[in-house]
Amino acid sequence: MENPLHHFELHPLIHLSLMGLDISINKAVIAMWIGLAFVFGLFMLVVKNGVRLIPGKLQITAEIALGFIRDMVEEFIGKKEAHKYFPFIATLFFFILACNLIGMIPGS
């Protein structure tokens, strides 16, 4: 009988080992790199366009998303601490969002 979890096993594409630690590259690592590149590219696009007095579609979307995250962080840890942790939490949010969207692609 075939193992029902066979589809969830991570098969290395490139075998790497560092002092006995397996750091092989598999599909999950490549998907994370793609997610990281997507988030980095998105942030660079927003920075390149800059903040305008009359916002475009990208700026409106970014302001709504960042406002949502800011409000949630302020609600949980307070306004004083939110300013300290907001950049990290927002970046983590967008990275996880990108990886989840990539995970919806069949075969990824």
Q: For residue 1, give the 3-state DSSP assignment.
A: coil
- Residue ranges making up the domain that contains 77: 12-103
Does residue 8 register a pLDDT over 80? Answer: no
- How remote is the C-alpha of 39 from its chain's centroid? 6
The two three-digit tokens of residue 12, written as one number: 């290395």
Whether 2 is covered by a domain: the verdict is no
User: For 38-76, what is each residue's pLDDT tens digit?
Assistant: 999 988 888 887 778 888 888 888 899 999 999 999 999
Whether 40 is covered by a domain: the verdict is yes
**What's the total number of domains in the chain?**
1
Whether 108 is covered by a domain: the verdict is no
Q: CA–CA separation, 33 vs 74, rounded Å?
A: 30
Whether 99 is covered by a domain: the verdict is yes
- Alpha helix (H) ranges present in the chain? 27-49, 57-77, 79-103
Whether 51 is covered by a domain: the verdict is yes
- φ, ψ of residue 55 in degrees (nearest 5): -70, 150
Whether 3 is covered by a domain: the verdict is no
Does residue 37 register a pLDDT over 90? Answer: yes
Whether 1 is covered by a domain: the verdict is no
